[in-house]
Amino acid sequence: MAKINEIGFVPVGDKILIEMIEEKTTSGLVLVNATDKKPSYGVVLAVGDEVPRRDKSNLSLVGETVAFPDWVAQPIYVDRVKMFIMSYDEIFGYFKGKAV
């Protein structure tokens, strides 16, 4: 996983930068769900300046795990690491203090 403080990419507007969480078997094989309509999950690495804050404490979603439809995430490479960028409005929600 990329370190949040070391990313050289800053999203603009309502965009968020996500590192996808992949499902793996116990032997380490990555599972690809081409036929399932399940949501994808990822960790928010950076947010644009127009992304609403998470709660009254004005904390952003950086570091939180979010659920989103996989077809909305656009791949982008930052320092040769594949990440995804999408609009904030396209996420379903986030997991409070939990990882998937």
**Model pTM score:** 0.75
Average pLDDT estimate for 43-66? 78
85 found inside a domain: yes
- Report yes or no on 4 lying in a domain: no
Q: Is residue 11 part of a domain?
A: no
pLDDT band at 85 (very low <50, low <70, confident <90, very high): very high
Whether 68 has a pLDDT exceeding 60, the answer reads yes
Quick one: what percent of the chain has pLDDT higher than 90? 21
Between CA 98 and CA 68 the distance in angstroms is 16
Domain range holding 88? 27-95
5: in domain: no
Is the alpha carbon torsion for 55, 15, 88, 39 positive or negative? negative
Instruction: Report yes or no on 12 lying in a domain.
Output: no
